[in-house]
């Protein structure tokens, strides 16, 4: 049976569980979230794997890049990703990776972008929201950049204070770099 190595990373806004499946990051998830166990079970089932605690070179690299991100020194992650989900979920998560650092989009805007690519039909904001909510690689796949209609924060697996913090450091880094 395959193995997913799990390792805890302490971020400035709470603990994240990182997962390595055959040298690819398959988890960067908030263990305190209501859906964490379901995400881990989904990934294990899809990969035919079981979890084991331990550090790997990839997880150390991911931790270093997360340190750089939280230190406002990194805007994008350079890690091999293994996105585990349906084809629709993977398309949504790929679209999240395309949202520019320090910007936000609503679920409706994200749905419109995906519908323009033929991934979904008009009015798919709820389905897109469900796929965003199923993202098991928070921060690395930036679901914190998606807001509810009316530009309210909406939900977030790491909690709203974490979502505010993540969007805040990205905005601050852009301001410090002279971008607007």
pLDDT tens by residue, the chain, 180 residues: 799 999 999 999 999 999 999 999 999 999 989 899 999 999 999 999 999 999 999 999 999 999 999 999 999 999 999 999 999 999 999 999 999 999 999 998 999 999 888 887 777 888 999 999 999 999 999 999 999 887 677 889 999 999 999 999 999 988 888 886
Closest CA to 106 of 68, 143, 65, 60: 143
Domain extent, residue 8, equals 2-70
CB neighbours of 148 closer than 8 A, spacing ≥ 6? 106, 107, 154, 155
Same domain, 91 and 66: no
Same domain, 94 and 168: yes
Record the pTM. 0.93
Q: Is 143 a catalytic residue?
A: yes
Residue among 26, 28, 120, 143 flagged as catalytic: 143
**Final residue of a structural domain among 37, 70, 103:** 70
How far apart (Å, rounded) are the C-alpha atoms in residues 149 and 173?
25
**Final residue of a structural domain among 43, 70, 97:** 70
């Amino acid at each position: 049976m395959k193995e997913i190595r799990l390792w805890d990373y302490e971020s400035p806004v709470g603990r994240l569980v990182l997962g390595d499946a055959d040298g690819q990051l398959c988890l960067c998830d908030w263990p305190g979230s209501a859906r964490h166990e379901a995400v881990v079970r989904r990934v294990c089932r899809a990969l035919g794997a079981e979890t084991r605690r331990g550090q790997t070179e990839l997880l150390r690299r991911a931790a270093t890049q997360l340190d750089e991100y939280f230190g406002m020194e990194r805007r994008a992650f350079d890690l091999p990703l293994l996105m585990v989900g349906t084809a629709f979920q993977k398309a949504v998560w790929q679209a999240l990776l395309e949202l520019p650092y320090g910007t936000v989009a609503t679920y409706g805007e994200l749905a419109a972008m995906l519908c323009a690519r033929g991934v979904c039909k008009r009015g798919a904001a709820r389905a897109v929201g469900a796929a965003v909510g199923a993202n098991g690689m928070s921060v690395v796949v930036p679901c914190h950049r998606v807001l509810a209609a009316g530009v309210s924060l909406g939900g977030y697996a790491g909690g709203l204070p974490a979502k505010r913090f993540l969007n805040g450091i990205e905005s601050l880094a852009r301001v410090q770099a002279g971008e607007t």
